[in-house]
Structure 1
Amino acid sequence: MAPPSEGGTNALLPDLPKGPLQAYRARASFCWQELALFLEGEDVLRLKWATPRLLHFQKAIFSALENDPLFAHPHGEGLSLEKYRELNFLRCKRVMEYNLLPVESIVANPLLVQTLVTCLGMYDWSLAIKLLLHMLTFASVIYSSGSERHLKYLPKIFNMEIFGCFAVTELSHGSNAKAIRTTAHYDPTTEEFIIHSPDFEAAKFWIGNMGKTATHAVVFAQLYTPGGRCHGLHAFMVQIRNPKTLLPMPGVMVGDMGKKLGLNGVDNGFAMFHKVRIPRQDLLNRTGDVTPEGTYVTPFKDDRQRFGATLGTLSIGRVTIMGMSTANLKLAISIALRFSATRCQFGPSDAEEVPVLEYQMQQWRLLPYLAAVYALDHFSKSLFLDLVELQQGLMGTDQSTRQAELGREIHALASAGKPLASWTTQRGIQECREACGGHGYLAVNRLGHLRNDNDPNCTYEGDNNVLLQQTSTYLLSLLARRVHGGARFESPLRTVDFLEAYPDILGQRFTCPSVDSCLDSSVPLAAYEWLVCYLLRESYQKFNQEKRSGSNDFEARNNSQVYCCRPLALAFLELTVVRKFHEYTHQHSVPPPLRAVLGRLSALYALWSLSQHTALLYQGGYFAGEEAGKMIQSAILDLCSQLKDDAVALVDVIAPPDFVLDSPIGRADGELYKNLWTAVLLESKVLERPSWWSEFSVNKPRVGSLKSKL
């Protein structure tokens, strides 16, 4: 299809190079530039402030990287750990010098911050994470959790006079944030907090940027006022190194954790504090403060409201990881589908080979992950903007019940969203690697690096399986309030409102008459609502059964996880993603040429995700007879077939420039073999004999003499 005629579109989204991929691009049912502009426009509409075109901003970032020699991709032997970290810090510093995001942007336009992090991550996640921890996590927590007295730090952060990190996790505690053991005792005689690690198990651990470069840390500690009363977890601004020498401050032991499986450009570290004194004003006091005399004050009516607001603030890391995981899946699926469209193997005759994308098996392996990219990308951006709304409420001193409930809801969504996005990406990258055969195993094609760099997304900011308990606990608490107090099922973002029809939904059954009637996401949407209601009932009954058997609350929750609460949390989040994407792709503002392809993506993601719960749908009685399961399978294959010709164009919408994608088999020109051959020859010493060549022939022992020595 012809590109849209909007002025400047060709400069913003230029036509892609001619080559072997042109055949698929010509068969696409839509114009990829039009879809890219539509997706960007929807993101901008969510914002209430003036926003420059995100695609212009993205293009500026990519161009800056490609044109700066500091960002040239190294060929040949890899860098040492020390050199990689040095290079990554210099690149981070250079990005800050570009001043792509002035200080006011972190407040006025958080979507630009997210775009910058994603673009840098597509280039190298070590760079993106280092910058993210300093500029977004560290700086935004100071802004959103602090007050006017803390604004003095922001110019220093952006000028890199100080370099920051975010310290919650400890050696002996991570996901269980309430059990963090670092203490902050207030001393009214000096108006100081005393930050202290009671023992080595309370050392801050796994903290990104802390290993070698951070000069300051936002440290989460248990706040104690005179008399020994603990007011729970609060955030404090603590200097850990001298910015001029990078030597530790008095009372601080800080060090590096060493080499990891991936992301080695980020220096993860540890720190212990021995009675380190900081001014009272360095408590980030948005949710609670201490007067000079030592009295604790908070704008929230009860601890649950305060903790709910704190949870919403802590959700920023998890929401960000959702976007990072989705960006990794974008890269992997772009590489695999461009490869699949140009890699020809076998055919109806010995003289004719066909692209492997034409095979149903390859479509079934890859196209659901392409649909997942679009669905998860939309949801993660939407949740990010919901989180911005929450933080704006906090900064506006909104202590309403709705604000606290919004914090709890976002916490529940982020706690399941991170597992869903990171696990989907983990499986997707592996499928992409295998779908590219042996070529996918070559490091130069990047899939292995993506797999390693994505892997920690399943763990940091909370182990995925542990985080899912937060979501199921949230849902069970709503049901308990309904059963015992008659409270309505409702939430600020309306993600639980469908549960108001809980009994009626449980009585529904699958009734589709044909495969064609399944080819819309409204069908799996109804099935998902039933599934969540069923798992909610099963989880509630299992918990109460455990209680009746004599278990305490802790034991009852623990014994209800595997087959009840865990799938409940995942199904609820999948339902939420499916609903958001269904509403997005079926709205009236979707241009007519884009409706069919977006509808198919929505239906494929929903049916493919739902199919992973087939056993539960039969177990609970929603499905009956073999036709129901077969119908879902046939619908998935039909949608894969319908999307096959659109796959390359859909990749063109999400793929970054070749320089950033950095994969010979995934380049936009589709010259698969030429690009791979060139990349291999550019590797270091590929045509040279080994440095140990003399060992091959010199002083070669004779077999007989060797036997005599033995």
Structure 2
Amino acid sequence: MASTLDQKQATGNQNSWDSLLPDFPKGPLCRYRNRASFNWKEMAVLVDGEDIIQLKNRIFSALESDPLFAHHPGEDLCREKYQELTFLRCKRLFEYDFLTQQEIMENPSRIFSMVLCVGMYDWSVSLQFFLHCAVFAGPIMSASKRFAHVVNQVFSMEIFGCFALTELSHGTNAKGIRTTATFDRSTQEFIINTPDFEAAKFWVGNMGKHATHAVLYAQLYTPDGQCEGLHSFLVQIRDTKTLLPMPGVMVGDIGKKIGQNGLDNGFAMFHNVRIPKENILNIAGDVTAEGKYSSSVKDVKERFSAALGSLSTGRIMITAISATNLKLAIAIAIRFSAARRQFGPTDGEEIPVLEYQTQQWRLLPYLAAAYALDYFSKSLFENFIEFYAGVLTKQRSQRQADLGREIHALSAASKPLSSWTAQQAAQECREACGGHGYLAMNRLGEIRNDNDPNCTYEGDNNVLLQQTSTYLMSWMNCIRNKAPFESPLGTINILQDYHHILGRKFTAISVEDCMDSSVPLAAYKWLVCYLLRESDLKLSKEKQAGRSSFEARNNCQVYYCRTLAIAFMEQTVLQRYHDYTHGPNIPSALQPVLKNLSALYGLWSLSKHLAVLYQGGYVSGEQPGRFIQDAILELCCRLKDDAVALVDVLAPPDFILNSPIGKASGELYKNMWGEILQGSKVLSRPSWWAEFCTNKPVIGRLRSRL
């Protein structure tokens, strides 16, 4: 009886999955799909959930059916035309109303999914939408209720917004921002001023051509000349009816970039631009009618963090965007590798290049990273939503403050880890697809270039890692004093066992022992504690040598604090993914492959730290290093037959992926040939043909005479 019920439930599940996810076309990739150890549809429902899959299907279907989103093979749009098309597409997203304003406010994770879905099609469109209705609107919604009408204007597109923080001479160092906002008591206005061209707002997304309003960051000055630090203001920069600059505003486009040229990044200068007193976004502080500054956040550092709280939103989003780029690149490369045949054991037989160990070793760790980072980015966003709810309800508890610090530290390191992983993966995937990977039509170059700014936007990666290492180092006094401590999300709780962990050693005695992610996880815990100890000792030595606090910190970055922050982030990602894949909620049919992914990600990431593991004495002799390397290769071999099904879970439909070699059918050459022949003027002679035929080179004429 029980087996009959189980069978009915399995049939019901399959019918549900089939209605959500259509089957793939028959073709060369069927060979690997038939070998998979799991049902890819079941995995997709586990990874995204039915609700998000339905949202994705609505978005993908709408874009594919809309002529405005049509692809034009071989056509290179000029920048201005591309920016126009991007804005029209962004506007269309609001018309589709995939998510209502109410839905976004009730369930922010849905806009998270929507931005990533549209980004799979084109990041310029997606980021323009996100900058307007999240990065621009977020600080406004966080301020007082007096901005409710502005929020309505945002979502009706009566106004279009940008987030103006960075300046020509100041980027990551936000404290150095030099734009000023001086309160004029006599008129009850703030006067926005740019002292010189180096203080021009710069790199601002959406500002270049069409933003009408900006959330602008400036140093707040009271009438007595006192600077109260960085605060944000709502400033109109263009007329909503003419798109001409407002009086006193000079605004323009900064020029062509390496990628994402549909998104208009701009600059702006302000010459005594007056805005109403009410336009201060009073998140961190406010000014009375008499010109007295007041703030509920008394600590200056906390006030600065509150003013820039929205930056964590951007960093968390970039973590997810980079993970999405990783998914796109690896989907293309693995489908190509499973269909592309080269060489073989005999002259008459060619085999898919995915069968070669080198190809597996190059690609499959990035597939594991895609799964681990995708899960982490989603969980970090949920953590942020909890924190943001506290911001909106004006919570001032110690837990809220601690949660903000922890999320800041996590986002400051997850962005570098995710963006660098995607950057390296895109290049490896490009090379793994050979010459075909270099063709623009196959999109790997576009993915690589569009991902590149993720390593810099919202803070240079190497500078951000300093913020995470500073957070970790701040716990050393508790460790030394053996005082109890913990963090709201538990990411630093391993440091409670700091002294005991430092005494541990690598215990695996075979390759098979290493095949679970608990082994690299244990090694990472030791590595984080060891690097924390070494960084603390290095800092102490620098100070004892008479270095200033600034010099001492500066001299501790390379090989110490920077590596500490990276190792901590890798350990955190692995811990979450390990707990998830080994948890009770994973269907038994999916657990083996997910555990293999977790182990591969952990060992592959850990292998980059082997020198430090030996240096610190956690491992010794030849065997541990070989065990780890052999386990990586064995896991690649085990995952090889599951690889196509695993990327089927991650890849969007063919129209969205837009890569002939990455199409679900696996018909590489047919798809490429069709794309080539659709190109503009592919078979026509060049417009300069007469130049070739009538003007022979001088050397040619001399030879004819001889």
TM-score band, normalised by the shorter chain? over 0.9
Gaps in structure 2 of 5+ consecutive residues: 1-6
Question: What does residue 381 of structure 1 align with?
Answer: 378
Question: What does residue 671 of structure 2 align with?
Answer: 675
Instruction: Tell me the alpha carbon deviations over residues 216-255 of structure 1, each in whole angstroms, 9 at most, x when there is no partner.
Output: 0001111222322222211111100001111111111111
Letter in 2 for 1:111: S
Report the CA distance between 1:481 and its aligned residue.
4.8
Instruction: Tell me the alpha carbon deviations over residues 358-381 of structure 1, each in whole angstroms, 9 at most, x when there is no partner.
Output: 111110000000000010011111
CA 1:172–1:488: 2 relative to 1, 3 Å:
farther
Q: Distance in 1 between matches of 2:616 and 2:250?
A: 55
TM-align CA RMSD: 1.7
Question: What does residue 432 of structure 1 align with?
Answer: 429
Aligned: 1:140 with 2:138? yes
Question: What does residue 328 of structure 2 align with?
Answer: 331
* Partner SS state of residue 567, structure 2: helix
Q: Distance in 2 between matches of 1:701 and 1:676?
A: 36
Report the CA distance between 1:489 and its aligned residue.
3.7
Report the CA distance between 1:394 and its aligned residue.
0.8
Q: In the alignment, is the contact (CA less than 8 A) between 1:308 and 1:404 conserved in 2?
A: no
Instruction: Tell me the alpha carbon deviations over residues 97-135 of structure 1, each in whole angstroms, 9 at most, x when there is no partner.
Output: 111121222311111101111011000011111111111
Report the CA distance between 1:136 and its aligned residue.
1.4
Q: Distance in 2 between matches of 1:552 and 1:4?
A: 68
Question: What does residue 611 of structure 2 align with?
Answer: 615
Instruction: Tell me the alpha carbon deviations over residues 395-418 of structure 1, each in whole angstroms, 9 at most, x when there is no partner.
Output: 111011211111111111111111
Question: What does residue 4 of structure 2 align with?
Answer: none
Q: What percentage of residue pairs aligned between the two structures are identical?
A: 63
Q: In the alignment, is the contact (CA less than 8 A) between 2:17 and 2:42 conserved in 1?
A: no
Question: What does residue 117 of structure 1 align with?
Answer: 115
Q: In the alignment, is the contact (CA less than 8 A) between 2:60 and 2:656 conserved in 1?
A: yes
Q: Distance in 2 between matches of 1:335 and 1:285?
A: 47
Instruction: Tell me the alpha carbon deviations over residues 154-191 of structure 1, each in whole angstroms, 9 at most, x when there is no partner.
Output: 12111111000001111111111111111111122222
Q: More deviation in 70-79 or 116-125?
A: 70-79
CA 1:310–1:488: 2 relative to 1, 3 Å:
farther
Q: Distance in 2 between matches of 1:398 and 1:232?
A: 22
Question: What does residue 94 of structure 1 align with?
Answer: 92
Question: Aligned to 2:220, which of 217, 223, 229?
Answer: 223
Question: What does residue 413 of structure 1 align with?
Answer: 410
Question: What does residue 268 of structure 1 align with?
Answer: 265
Report the CA distance between 1:275 and its aligned residue.
1.4
Q: In the alignment, is the contact (CA less than 8 A) between 2:283 and 2:307 conserved in 1?
A: no
Q: More deviation in 15-24 or 5-14?
A: 5-14
Q: Distance in 2 between matches of 1:684 and 1:489?
A: 65
* Partner SS state of residue 5, structure 1: helix
CA 1:114–1:437: 2 relative to 1, 3 Å:
same
Report the CA distance between 1:488 and its aligned residue.
3.2
CA 1:27–1:294: 2 relative to 1, 3 Å:
same
Question: What does residue 561 of structure 2 align with?
Answer: 565
Aligned: 1:208 with 2:205? yes
Q: Distance in 1 between matches of 2:704 and 2:180?
A: 69
Q: In the alignment, is the contact (CA less than 8 A) between 1:3 and 1:34 conserved in 2?
A: no
Aligned: 1:471 with 2:468? yes
* Within-5 A mapping of 1:542-561: 542-561=538-557
* Within-5 A mapping of 1:195-594: 195-483=192-480, 487-594=483-590
* Partner SS state of residue 233, structure 1: strand
Q: TM-score, with normalisation over the residues of structure 1?
A: 0.96
Q: Distance in 2 between matches of 1:180 and 1:481?
A: 34
Q: In the alignment, is the contact (CA less than 8 A) between 2:128 and 2:263 conserved in 1?
A: yes
Question: What does residue 660 of structure 2 align with?
Answer: 664
Q: Distance in 1 between matches of 2:307 and 2:595?
A: 38
* Partner SS state of residue 602, structure 1: helix
CA 1:590–1:696: 2 relative to 1, 3 Å:
same
Q: In the alignment, is the contact (CA less than 8 A) between 1:187 and 1:193 conserved in 2?
A: yes
Gaps in structure 1 of 5+ consecutive residues: 42-51
* Partner SS state of residue 213, structure 1: coil
Q: Distance in 2 between matches of 1:213 and 1:271?
A: 12
Letter in 2 for 1:649: A
Report the CA distance between 1:687 and its aligned residue.
1.1
* Within-5 A mapping of 1:167-206: 167-206=164-203
Instruction: Tell me the alpha carbon deviations over residues 326-385 of structure 1, each in whole angstroms, 9 at most, x when there is no partner.
Output: 111111000000000000111110011111111111100000000000100111111111
Q: TM-score, with normalisation over the residues of structure 2?
A: 0.96
Q: Distance in 2 between matches of 1:30 and 1:4?
A: 17
Question: What does residue 692 of structure 2 align with?
Answer: 696
Q: Distance in 2 between matches of 1:480 and 1:120?
A: 46
CA 1:135–1:533: 2 relative to 1, 3 Å:
same
Question: What does residue 45 of structure 1 align with?
Answer: none
Letter in 1 for 2:450: D
Question: What does residue 161 of structure 2 align with?
Answer: 164
CA 1:692–1:403: 2 relative to 1, 3 Å:
same
Q: In the alignment, is the contact (CA less than 8 A) between 2:517 and 2:598 conserved in 1?
A: yes
Letter in 2 for 1:411: H
Report the CA distance between 1:149 and its aligned residue.
0.6
Letter in 2 for 1:542: K
Letter in 2 for 1:343: R
Report the CA distance between 1:211 and its aligned residue.
0.5
Aligned: 1:15 with 2:44? no
